[in-house]
């Protein structure tokens, strides 16, 4: 189960829907999606956190995960963060388009 989130910034950046978290197929596929960004292309998208190297769909460079910016606690290491964790960790995040700390995550729903 996970959250459907969207990254939004006043500079005009709006990501596609990111199906963050894990679904019922996780135990078969091991696929866990978290929001990631590319500073070169100025995009935010969902990428598989279990991979060592997630490539940008546009320039093919390594993407950075927002999860890496969250403070590491024992709980967060055991569980994948949910939308609520992103909201509680920081109010504003790094925007890859304008390079300011003005990006926020909004919840648009839940998924299984």
User: Whole-model pTM?
Assistant: 0.82
What's the rounded Cα separation, in Å, for the pair 62 and 21? Answer: 20
Return d(Cα 107, Cα 55) in angstroms, integer: 25
Beta carbons within 8 Å of 39's beta carbon, 6+ residues apart? 64, 96, 99
The whole-number pLDDT of residue 84 equals 59
Beta pairing partners, 109: 4
Q: Above 80 in pLDDT, residue 23?
A: no
pLDDT tens readout for residues 26-74 = 777 778 899 999 999 999 999 998 888 899 999 999 999 998 776 544 4
**21's tokens:** 């978290």
Q: What is the pLDDT of residue 26?
A: 75
Instruction: Give strand pairing partners of 47.
Output: 34
């Amino acid at each position: 189960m996970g959250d459907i989130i969207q990254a939004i910034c006043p500079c005009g950046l709006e990501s596609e829907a990111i199906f963050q978290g894990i679904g019922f197929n996780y135990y078969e596929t091991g696929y866990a999606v978290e929001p990631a960004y590319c500073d070169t292309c100025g995009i935010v998208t969902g990428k598989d956190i279990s991979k060592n190297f997630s490539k940008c769909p546009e320039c093919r460079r390594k993407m950075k995960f927002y999860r890496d910016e969250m403070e590491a606690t024992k709980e967060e290491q055991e569980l994948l963060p949910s939308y609520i964790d992103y909201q509680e960790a920081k109010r504003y995040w790094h925007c890859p388009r304008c390079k300011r700390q003005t990006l926020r995550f909004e919840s648009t729903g839940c998924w299984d």
